[in-house]
């Protein structure tokens, strides 16, 4: 993301018209006339403005890059395919539990939708078939590969588990250590055994714009700007309209667009008039809307326009496919089916010939589904003029494979083996001290040997003295 942009966090991408109007008032006071939306469902605004000091004094604007917005698929609830028990209200209750700004990227998603990335975070909570229980896929910043938490996490433990992981994760090397550390701190978690492997059904990318029916007597609206520059005057007027029509929520999608759900049937005509009077286009081509670009990157936007125009001229369909443009070669955090990587030009070459054109790589995920997390190379070091024909060829391959049965199966948890681990146990309450974990409640760091504990150390549960602990062998699944 562009480091010259401040962020207004919109937790889970969900806000109310009133809250959004307050943010708009702040931005207007700073002299801004437009904002961007980010891929983590947040609002992005420039820092180089004349009145940027206003941002520094506001608690709503986050300049610290170490904090992250929470991503969730509330935006899809009740309008796209969903896990049976998972309702929009469930997401709202979960988001309310987070009373802290996370530093890890947290995603809370339904595996049966395609609009919000399932594996885009460090902590990916993915709904299971068991009501109120979630798989947890973990990829900590210093880990080379992801792993699954060995149990399902209860809905109302998600915030607590996330908070405790944030406290200790830097010293954790594998998921077994992490699990042991968490259950040592959260003494009564409502975990559930995993009785089936996570399976994510293959979904094509949905069309998310325009006014669409939602149930019997409601509608939902999708709004998209191809340049991701949202006019504050329009947004403010739209918020006022939502308040007048008793519309309670506005959602930001990871595709830098807006979705508004629960529009009353009787408000449909008024909404169409509101949009029509302002010349708002709600019928963009699918060729336009299935792209993920770096924010405020003019070169990426121009490349997208060039490719979309090429597709349009050759009357090519890309329905169900998504494309991303990246300036970071090899990065696998994209949510798009096909990734177009821009190769950096070395300073030596650039100095020798300033007009040197960049080359590109084309990669795509296995089965053209980002949820496979398996990125494959299709072409390397090609000129921009070669991109359209190669992407069209790749699109045709996608449609050739589309009729085949597809289902993404997540990685199985690693096979475990039983090993013996020496720990120390309190003889009064049977609390265990493991030097791999330490004792977070007593501010004892991980990897602190029991022998090195001060003589004043006491059991964090019953208060028994150190000499009340005895060494035992514990069978641990590793």
- Mean pLDDT for the stretch of residues 362-382: 89
Percent of the chain with pLDDT over 70: 89
What is the reported pLDDT for 3?
Answer: 58
pLDDT tier at 412, thresholds 50, 70, 90: low
Across 165-169, 328-332, 438-442, which has the greatest mean pLDDT? 165-169
Assess whether pLDDT exceeds 60 at residue 405: no
Lowest mean pLDDT among 34-43, 206-215, 351-360, 468-477: 468-477
What is the reported pLDDT for 118?
Answer: 94
Assess whether pLDDT exceeds 60 at residue 377: yes
Closest CA to 395 of 307, 292, 268, 265: 307
**Tens digit of each residue's pLDDT (9 = 90 or more) over 112-152:** 999 999 998 999 999 999 999 999 999 999 998 999 999 99
Distances (CA, A) of 305 to 38, 223, 300: 20, 19, 9
What is the reported pLDDT for 276?
Answer: 93
Residue appearing with tokens 């007048």: 244
What is the reported pLDDT for 132?
Answer: 96
CB 232 within 8 A of CB 8: no
454, with CB counted inside 10 A (0-12, 13-18, 19+), is exposed
Assess whether pLDDT exceeds 70 at residue 413: no
Going by C-beta distance under 8 Å and a sequence separation of 6 or more, which residues neighbour residue 345? Answer: 356, 358
Sign of the dihedral defined by the CA atoms of residues 462, 468, 474, 478, in that order? positive
pLDDT tier at 417, thresholds 50, 70, 90: very low
pLDDT tier at 414, thresholds 50, 70, 90: very low
What is the reported pLDDT for 358?
Answer: 87
Lowest mean pLDDT among 13-22, 167-176, 333-342: 333-342
What is the reported pLDDT for 165?
Answer: 96
- Mean pLDDT for the stretch of residues 45-70: 70
Lowest mean pLDDT among 320-329, 330-339, 370-379: 330-339
Q: How much is the pTM? A: 0.81
The structural domains of the chain, ordered by start, are 81-201 (no CATH), 288-408 (3.30.413.10), 418-477 (2.20.28.10)
- Mean pLDDT for the stretch of residues 349-375: 85
Give the CA-trace dihedral at 91, 93, 95, 97, to 10 degrees: -150
**Tens digit of each residue's pLDDT (9 = 90 or more) over 228-264:** 999 999 999 999 999 999 999 999 999 999 999 999 9
How far apart, in whole angstroms, are the C-alpha atoms of residue 176 and residue 416? 10
Going by C-beta distance under 8 Å and a sequence separation of 6 or more, which residues neighbour residue 406? Answer: 202, 367, 369
Closest CA to 224 of 247, 256, 263, 268: 256
What is the reported pLDDT for 309?
Answer: 93
Reported as type and span, the H/E element at residue 254 is none
């Amino acid at each position: 993301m562009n480091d010259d942009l401040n962020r207004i966090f919109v937790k889970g991408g969900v806000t109310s018209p009133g809250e959004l109007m307050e943010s708009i008032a702040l931005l207007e006071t700073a002299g801004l006339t437009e904002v961007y939306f980010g891929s983590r469902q947040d609002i992005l605004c420039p820092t180089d403005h004349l009145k940027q000091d206003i941002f520094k004094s506001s608690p709503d604007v986050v300049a610290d890059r170490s904090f992250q917005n929470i991503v969730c698929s509330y935006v899809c609830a009740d309008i796209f395919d969903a896990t049976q028990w998972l309702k929009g209200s469930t997401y709202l209750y979960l988001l309310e539990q987070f009373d802290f700004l996370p530093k890890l990227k947290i995603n809370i998603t339904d595996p049966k939708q395609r609009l919000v990335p399932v594996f885009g975070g460090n902590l990916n909570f993915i709904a299971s078939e068991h009501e109120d229980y979630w798989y947890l896929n973990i990829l900590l910043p210093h880990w080379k590969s992801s792993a699954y938490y060995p149990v399902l996490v209860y809905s109302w433990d998600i915030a607590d588990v996330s908070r405790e992981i944030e406290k200790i994760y830097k010293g954790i090397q594998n998921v077994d250590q992490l699990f042991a550390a968490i259950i040592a701190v959260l003494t009564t978690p409502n975990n559930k055994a995993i009785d089936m492997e996570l399976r994510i059904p293959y979904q094509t990318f949905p069309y998310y714009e325009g006014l669409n029916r939602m149930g019997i007597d409601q509608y939902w609206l999708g709004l998209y700007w191809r340049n991701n520059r949202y006019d504050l005057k329009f947004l403010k007027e739209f918020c006022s309209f939502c308040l007048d029509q008793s519309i309670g929520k506005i959602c930001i999608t990871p595709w830098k667009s807006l979705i508004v759900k629960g529009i009353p049937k009787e408000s449909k005509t008024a909404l169409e008039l509101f949009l029509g009077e302002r010349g708002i286009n709600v019928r963009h081509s699918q060729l336009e809307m299935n792209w993920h670009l770096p924010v405020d990157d003019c070169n990426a936007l121009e490349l997208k326009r060039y490719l979309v125009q090429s597709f349009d001229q050759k009357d090519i369909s890309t329905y169900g496919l998504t494309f991303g443009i990246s300036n970071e070669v090899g990065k696998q955090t994209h949510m798009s089916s096909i990734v177009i990587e821009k190769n950096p030009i070395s300073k030596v070459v650039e100095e020798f010939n300033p007009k040197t054109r960049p080359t590109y790589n084309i990669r795509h995920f296995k089965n053209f589904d980002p949820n496979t997390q398996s990125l494959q190379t299709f072409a390397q070091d090609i000129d921009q003029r070669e991109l359209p024909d190669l992407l069209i060829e790749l699109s045709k391959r996608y449609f050739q494979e589309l009729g085949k049965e597809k289902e993404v199966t997540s990685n199985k948890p690693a096979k475990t083996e039983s090993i013996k681990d020496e720990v120390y146990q309190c003889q009064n309450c049977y609390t265990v001290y493991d030097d791999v974990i330490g004792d977070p409640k007593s501010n004892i760091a991980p990897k602190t040997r029991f022998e090195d504990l001060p003589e004043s150390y006491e059991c964090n549960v019953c208060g028994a003295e150190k000499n009340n602990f005895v060494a035992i062998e514990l069978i641990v699944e590793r």
